[in-house]
Amino acid sequence: MTFVPPLRDLTLGELLKETASKFPDQDAVVYVDRDYRLTWQQFDELTDELAKGLMALGIQKGEKVAVWATNVPFWVALMFATAKMGAVLLTVNTAYKRNELKYLLTNSDADNIFIINGFRDSDYIEILYDLAPELRNMQRGAIRSETFPHLKRVCFLGVEKHRGMYSIPEIIGLARTVTDEELKARQATFNCHDVVNMQYTSGTTGFPKGVMLSHHNILNNGYSIGQRQRFTNKDKLLIHVPLFHCFGCVLGVMACLNHGTTMVFTEVFDPVKSMMSIEQEKCTAVYGVPTMFIAMLEHPLFPKFDFSSLRTGIMAGSVCPVQTMRQVTEKMYMKQITSVYDLTESSPGMTQSDVDDPYHYRVESVGKAFPHVEVKVLDPETNEEVERGKQGEVCCRGYNAMKGYYKNPEATAKCIDADGWLHSGDLGVMDENGFVVITGRIKDMIIRGGENIYPREIEEFLYTMPGIADVQVAGVPSRKYGEEVGAFIILRKDVEMAPEDVKDFCRGQIAWHKIPKYIAFVEEFPLTTSGKVQKYKLRELAGKLFPEAMR
């Protein structure tokens, strides 16, 4: 019988100290494209200094520190600095636009935010100045914003100086005003069961909600994720998935921290930079959603790179095509590739295949439940467990269940029932050996290339467009992304509108990946006898209206 180690009651800071003491001179953080690398000891020391700098700014235990940035070097440092001094890291999707940022900062009661210049066509600094114009004229650290009454400080996650913001060098410079004893005293005021991370997700219903995760949640989940891949201090993992998502900061960073594995980052995904990083650092593992692996496999330069150092990794985030899994196994040498079933609400891993599992299980299932986690398939109507081989809702119970949705006990109660079962909203089948296959969704969620998109959020926004009488948003099957966003619109009488008009209305207001790619103007929606829109029929209709999506 396989030995199952007990759960560990450590904070993220304590685990980092432990890893740094075991492997002080081994690389912890590497960026190939800018020749940036830190050993575990250097990384531990940097995060201590940054933690003291945050305390010097006046950040208190429990304050929320939002980070709106790509995978820049100081992102992961901020993750551990906040953990070491008792703050809560609030991750912000890099694709967010003005409306989404306003919603998140307001709903979360964010006290602080760290930003970079921008990403793609979004200028983060101008968006923030637009939402909080007081920032241009008020003293740093003394912001009084009408839009964001909780916001106290704005910082730049880099060396540049901007009006109303602290830069990273300035914050680290302030660290000398806080002693090591004061940092230790702060650490004595919180423990591993306190919230350390908050991530916004659409969950199973409604608008995005703040999922509260503890040190205990993500630290132990990270251990199991790394163990299923047999990570050691000899491994190097390429992390080109975004850090704002659990895929990056838990499946990636926390798995590495638990096993002393080197983290090799790219700031954003670029197939050539990724392949270059794998070859140059001799990475042994790489993560990605299917579209990332496809982008590398189909790139003209793919044959020029050496992937022979690879052995394992994770393909997850959306339905993983079996053919793509097989190509990665054969052409990228990832004979031990695994797949994870995850939800932000479950910290995020619920099941994962193991490197020693039979090949067909690793490419066709999402594996078995993690140690210390129960997974059952329940009848959505009766909540009774179904027979093995029968379809039902995949649910879990264990240490990995979130602490709850921020300021939303009603939604929390809908997600986690009275018996402690976390309901995923996803349909699946468990076989006689405990392996799970995800077969569909109860909820209306669209998953586009690993990004969760809730239709209601887009519908509510489109309702504000003059000329639209009613709108329903549903997933359109896509060969490349799994699903794309489709909008089915009923226009007001005598109104004419083109699909491009709708897209123009969305641009700059909602994230690019939420803008409907496929738009159909219809006379009516398919309804149940009780008058409820049948979204699954809209998905079926989309397949007929937009066959090009599957090419």
What's the CATH code of the domain at 166?
3.40.50.12780
Residue 461's domain comprises 448-550
Residues 250-305: tens digit of each pLDDT: 999 999 999 999 999 999 999 999 999 999 999 999 999 887 898 899 899 999 99
Residues 91-119: tens digit of each pLDDT: 999 989 999 999 999 999 999 999 999 99
What is the CB-side half-sphere exposure of residue 197 using CA atoms within 13 A? 30
Q: How far apart are CA 519 and CA 506, in angstroms?
A: 13
Question: 404: helix, coil or strand?
Answer: strand
Is the residue at 249 inside a domain? no
Look up the pTM and report it. Answer: 0.85
Q: Which helix (H) or strand (E) holds 373?
A: strand 373-378
What string of DSSP letters covers 456-510? HHHHHHHTTSTTEEEEEEEEEEETTTEEEEEEEEEEPTT----HHHHHHHHTTTS
Higher pLDDT, 206 or 195: 195
Residue whose entry in the numeric block shows the structure tokens 């939604």: 411
Q: How far apart are CA 525 and CA 509, in angstroms?
A: 26
At which of 175, 190, 205 does a domain end?
190
Is the residue at 299 inside a domain? no
Please state the rounded mean pLDDT for residues 339-356: 96
Q: 319 pLDDT band (50/70/90 cuts)?
A: low
Structure tokens at 526: 């398919």
Structure tokens at 223: 């251990």
pLDDT of residue 201: 86
Q: Which helix (H) or strand (E) holds 192?
A: none
Q: 137 pLDDT band (50/70/90 cuts)?
A: confident
pLDDT of residue 94: 93
Mean pLDDT (the chain, rounded): 92
Is the residue at 433 inside a domain? no
**Is the predicted pLDDT of residue 203 greater than 50, yes or no?**
no
DSSP state of 287: E
At which of 190, 217, 244 does a domain end?
190
Please state the rounded mean pLDDT for residues 3-30: 97
Structure tokens at 52: 């003291």
Is the residue at 456 inside a domain? yes
pLDDT of residue 30: 98
Is the residue at 517 inside a domain? yes
**Is the predicted pLDDT of residue 542 greater than 50, yes or no?**
yes
Which has the closest alpha carbon to 16: 68, 80, 82? 80
What is the CB-side half-sphere exposure of residue 50 using CA atoms within 13 A? 27
pLDDT of residue 530: 38
**Is the predicted pLDDT of residue 71 greater than 70, yes or no?**
yes
Structure tokens at 415: 């997600």
Specify the pairing of strand 482-491 against strand 518-521: parallel
Please state the rounded mean pLDDT for residues 224-251: 97
At which of 130, 156, 190 does a domain end?
190
Is the residue at 173 inside a domain? yes
Q: 318 pLDDT band (50/70/90 cuts)?
A: low
Counting the structural domains of the chain, the total is 2
Please state the rounded mean pLDDT for residues 467-486: 88
Is the residue at 307 inside a domain? no
Is the residue at 121 inside a domain? yes
**Is the predicted pLDDT of residue 442 greater than 90, yes or no?**
no
**CB 15, CB 27: distance < 8 Å:** no
Q: 204 pLDDT band (50/70/90 cuts)?
A: very low
Write the CATH number for 464: 3.30.300.30
Q: 529 pLDDT band (50/70/90 cuts)?
A: very low
Structure tokens at 499: 């699909």
Instruction: Name the E strands within 104-194.
Output: 112-115, 118-119, 122-123, 153-156, 166-167
pLDDT of residue 2: 66
